[in-house]
Amino acid sequence: MDWTFIASHVWDYVGGAWVTLRFGLYGVLCSLALGMLCCLARYFRVPVLRQLAAGYIELARNTPLLVQLFFLYAGLPRVGIQFSAEACAVIGLTFLGGAYMAEAFRSGLEAVDNAQVEAGACIGLTRRQNIRYVIFPQALATAVPALFANVIFLIKETSVFSVLAMMDLMNVADTLRTSGGRTVEVLFMLVAAYLIILLPVSVIATMVERRLRYAGFGDQRSV
């Protein structure tokens, strides 16, 4: 292990990590918003939107992100639609992530017992109040583990951004491996960089899940 080589290229990985994290977070935030909208369209059975959301979810979950990025970056320009590499990265990650987030939200909503809804109605809550104070808090608490798992999954999927010629972690590692021939050191730094990014997410997920459980959210006896 050549520690001198590692020390001399730390800042290359810091730059790559910043690109990975920045566009990964953009994609995650947009995925959460898109997933919530699709989930609500299906849960409340909104005409037309419900069918469109279901079709989108099946399409997104059954096609690889790499294929989606190639379609955005190389396919759409053929019909006169062109996006920058950064825009393709965010759109592609959002397209993929929105489907997984929608299913996570849906599983949370469907986990709320109908008895909870009926109990809320019995104590005089309106439909809107029932949704706000009974259904959503319990659904969100149930969905938290799946949501954080999707966040980690999406950040790891940013590794394919290198096909867009973005200088993310994977592209930095591939460039150094090709030019320097230090495969072991390059891969060691790549693994370390992803661990530094993802381990805090795992810790935060555990803390949030415990906090929600301690607060009583997700307890089907709460009403």
* Rounded Cα–Cα distance for residues 63 and 180 (Å): 35
Tens-level pLDDT at each residue, the chain (223 residues): 767 777 877 888 888 889 899 999 999 999 999 999 999 888 888 889 999 999 999 999 999 999 999 999 888 888 888 888 889 999 999 999 999 999 999 888 888 877 777 787 788 777 778 778 778 888 888 888 899 999 999 998 988 888 887 878 888 888 888 876 778 888 888 899 999 999 998 999 888 888 877 665 555 444 4
CA distances from 192 to 89, 123, 163 (A): 23, 53, 22
0.95 cut: is pTM over it?
Answer: no
Per domain, the residue ranges of the chain are: 3-215
Q: Which CATH number fits domain 3-215: 3.40.50.300, 1.10.3720.10, 1.10.10.410, 1.10.390.10?
A: 1.10.3720.10
C-beta separation of 138 from 217 below 8 A: yes
Alpha-carbon distance 198 to 159, whole Å?
A: 13
Distance CA 53, CA 48 (A): 9
